[in-house]
Each structure stands twice: as structure tokens, then as C-alpha cells.
Structure 1
Amino acid sequence: MKNDKLEIACFNLESAIIAQTNGADRVELCASMKEGGTTPDFRITEQARKELSVDLNVMIRPRGGDFVYTNAEFEQMKEEIIAFKRLNIDGFVFGILDKEGNINIEQNSELVALASPTPCTFHRAFDVVNNVYQSLETVIDCGFKTILTSGQEQNVVEGIVVLAELVVKANGRITIMPGGGLRSTNVGLLQEKTKAVFYHSSAVTDSGETANGDEVKALKRKLECI
């Protein structure tokens, strides 16, 4: 049996509970689905930590839009990491680029160090970086444990070739987690072609922002197939 893992991106407390109830291995809590995810409300996160026994990762992103941040925004990100650490969450999710579209080594490394020993995921800012394979090495050097990526395309199916190559080049040094348009209808193909071990989906199947329990179940069932 496979033992691939499933992370559900949750934009409200209800989704987080649905994700856990239906077999998700981890919740990524954020706000503002339409902006691609931003830092969640502290009180909601505090409640989620009380309600969840599965791992809880928290997005640290002060706003939607690009991934180049002002000094004030960077200070806000540091303050949020310090605050959320007190809740004993299981991981942070963020990513900072420079104006040239490269990984901002100094700022990312500072946040990873601040978060330590809590592990960090570099989010889909990775999908707009220059030189994807060189950037892989830079993210590893910054100390991240996971990269959430669609393979620099609109969705994981379009990015499947790059995702497969990233898994090979990562060679176990960092987890490559396909995410972006991942559904129970295509996760089997992603497993077959990429050989990734952790997968990411919102499991939202309508125009809202709440996970569908049946879709979470279907994703997990596909991941556990022989």
C-alpha cells in the first residue's frame, strides 16, 4: 500500500474540521482564497489548534499580489511567526522574492531561522521564480523542508513534467508537494508521473471557500491505492 500524504488548504475553521474528519494528514490554514491565501486570523488559528489533532501549518503572507515585500511587511511577517509559534503549530508556509524574480535569500533565511525548530514550506511564489532548478537549490539552502508548487504552470497537470523533474532533482533533500488544481480526478496521474509523496488541494468543488468532505475522502482514497 502507498503511504502518500494529503494536505488540505483551508480558508475557514469549518474546512479544517472537514479536512481532519475525512482523512487529511495536514491542514494548511490561510485566509482569503481569492488572493491565493494570506495570513489567517490569530483567534481562528488558536481555535483550529484546539480542534485539530492532525498537523496544522499556517500561511504567513501579509497580502495578495506579488511576493516582494516592503520592510514594514517583512517586519509584520516576523511578528506573525513569533505570535503563531506560541500556539504550537506544526509548520509555516511563506515565500519571498526579490524585484528581479529570484529567491530573496536573506529574508527567507531569516524567517526560517526565526521559525526554527518549526519546519517551513516555500509556497507557490516558487511558480513565478526565474530558473526553477537553480531556485530549488536556493530554497534548500535557505532551510525550507517543503516546496508547494504547480510546476510553474496554471495547474499541476500542465506542470507535471517540471514537477517530476523537481522530485528527481530534490532527491529526498526537500519534499516537492504538487498543488494547484489538484483533485481526486487527476491525483492518480500525478502520483504515477511525479512520484511525489505529499499532495496539496483545497478540495473545494463549488464557488465557495469550504472544503468538500467527499472530495477529501476521494483524494485520500486515491493516494492509498496500490
Structure 2
Amino acid sequence: MRKSPFKIEICVEGTDGLIAAQNAGADRVELCASLIEGGLTPSLGVVREALQVATIPFHVIIRPRGGDFLYSEVEFNSMLADIAALREMGNVAGVVIGCLTSDGRIDEERTAALVAAARPMAVTCHRAFDMTAEYRAALEALIACGVDRVLTSGQRDTAIEGSEILKDCMAIADGRIVIMACGGLDADTIAQVRRETGVDEMHFAALKTLKSGMTFRNPHVGMGGTAIEREYEVTVTDTEAVRATIAAARGAL
């Protein structure tokens, strides 16, 4: 099958992150809330604002909570409802999903239902794939469900550690599904991973922590059980780090 053009996707939190990523040369964005939990579904207000400011396509993660990818019926219904709301907006390019069974397989029934609900939007399976018991079977299951791409670090903490599995996934996919590598990618590692694996696309977050602009600080309250210091920090996408990592990736071949 014909190979699609190489693309780089940046994982961001909110519209400010989207603007930073597109200014730095990203091809696409994964739009999330709460990256501290690995990314949760952003509010519809955030998505509507993103549609106003975006100059590149963005995909919205559909993940109702942190933790595992074994969802209750109520949680699954909320995923369908979020997808329906995004589809009705008309200009959202894609969604990012992932549902597993308790024994570590792709939940094919639910995945197929989410794909059907999302069309004509593109559908990516996120790193739930990396939590499956057998990646070859998981990849075939995603293909059978009509998923367009899979985000994976090769079932390891980093793409460098998972490079052999990433290469194997490329061979198994054979153009039937896009393999998008992630995991510890930055300006120092991304070129090596691209050369060693030949993946179709690459995905990373480039974050930095800024001090809050708050001048009044209550020393007695930590919201949500977090350390008090966290209340006065803001995590943002680092435009220069995104730009440098994209340059390293594009110069790899």
C-alpha cells in the first residue's frame, strides 16, 4: 500500500498548547486536558475555542478518567456521547480512543462502536495498545475495527527501548494502519528512533513548568490533595523544544 507522508503530532493541554505547537511547525495536535494523568477529554468549550484558533488539524482524546482502560457501561456511554458532540461540531479532524478487556485484549466490540460513531473523523488508538497482552493480536484487532492509526512506544517506557517492537509493528501493519511512535522523544532521541524503526508518524509532548502569576498564596490549602507548591505552577508546551525536536526528526533521513 502507498505510504502516507511522514507527520509529527504534538500532545498538548488546551488551546494555548495548540497554538504553541502549530507555531513551532507541528503537523497535527492531540488535544487533551490533564496531561499529568496522561491526558483526559477536554471540555467542549476548549474544543470550540480550538476550532477558532487552529491552523492545523487536531484530534481530541476521548478518555473519561485516568487509570486503566477497562470502562464501565456508564463510562463507555459517556465516550459515545463525547464523540457525538464532536462530530456535530463538524470540523474536528479526529478522535483518540482505547478500550481493553480485563485480560489485556483490545475490546473489539466497543472499539468498533466508537469507530462507527466517530466517522467521518479519523480514529487513533492511544497507548492502551501498549498495555495489551499480545501486541500482534492487538494490532490485527485494531485493523479489523477500522482504526486509522495506533500510538505506541513499542510496549516499553520509551520508543528507544521499544524500537524492535515498533519495527515489527511496521512490518505487520504493511500500510493497513499508521504506526505513530511515542515515548521519551526529544531533540536528542527522535532521530535515532525514526532511523531505526521507519515509523509512519511520531508523537511527543514538550512541556515546561512556569511559576504561577499569583501574588497571594494561601499556605494552608492544597487543592485536590496535591502538594501546595503545585497550586502555583503552570505546565505549558515549550515552543522552542517542539521546534528543535521536529527539526531533529525531519533531519534524520
The partner residue of 2:173 within 159, 166, 170 is 170
2:245 aligns to what?
219
Greater CA deviation, 196-205 or 66-75? 196-205
Residue 24 of structure 2 corresponds to residue 22 of structure 1 = yes
2:63 to 55, 61, 82: 61
Tell me how far apart the structure 1 counterparts of residues 209 and 197 of structure 2 sit (CA, whole Å): 27
Q: For residues 150-175 of structure 1, give each alpha carbon's deviation from its aligned partner in whole angstroms, at most 9, with x where no partner exists.
A: 11111111111111111111111111
Once the 2 structures are TM-superposed, how far is the Cα of residue 219 of structure 1 from its aligned partner? 1.8
Q: Which moved more, 1:196-205 or 1:65-74?
A: 196-205
> Superposition pairs for residues 1-226 of structure 1, below 5 Å?
4-87=6-89, 88-206=91-209, 209-225=235-251, 226=253
SS at match of 1:86: helix
The SS at the match of 1:209 is strand
CA deviation digits over 1:51-78, x for unaligned, max 9?
A: 0010110000000000000000010000
Q: Deviations over 1:172-204 (max 9, x none)?
A: 111110112111110100111010121000111
SS in 1 for 2:22: helix
Larger relative contact order (Cα-Cα within 8 Å, sequence gap ≥ 6): 1
Name the aligned partner's letter for residue 157 of structure 2.
Q
CA contact (8 A) 1:12 1:210 kept: no
CA contact (8 A) 1:151 1:159 kept: yes
| Alpha-carbon distance in 2 for matches of 1:209, 1:158 | 27
The size of the alignment, in residue pairs, is: 224
How many percent of aligned residue pairs carry the same amino acid? 37
SS class of match (2:30): strand
Alpha-carbon deviation of 1:224? 2.2
What is the root-mean-square deviation in Å for CA atoms of aligned residues?
A: 1.3
Distance change in 2, residues 1:68/1:84 (3 Å): same
Query: Counterpart amino acid of 1:83?
Result: A
Output the amino acid matched with 1:211: T
Q: Which amino acid aligns with 1:115?
A: A
Higher Cα radius of gyration: 2
Structure 2, unpaired ranges of 5+: 211-233
Could you give the per-residue CA deviations for residues 114-167 of structure 1, whole angstroms, max 9, x where no partner exists?
101111000000011011111110011011000001111111111111111111
Q: CA shift at 1:106, angstroms?
A: 0.3
Report the Cα distance in structure 1 between the residues aligned to 2:235 and 2:40, rounded to whole angstroms.
Answer: 14
Name the amino acid aligned to 1:214.
Answer: E
- How far, CA to CA, are the matches of 1:206 and 1:57 in structure 2? 24
1:205 Cα deviation from its structure 2 partner: 4.4
| Partner Cα distance (2:184, 2:197) in 1 | 15
TM-score by length of 1: 0.96
Provide the TM-score with structure 2 as the length reference: 0.86
Q: Residue in 1 aligned with 2:213?
A: none
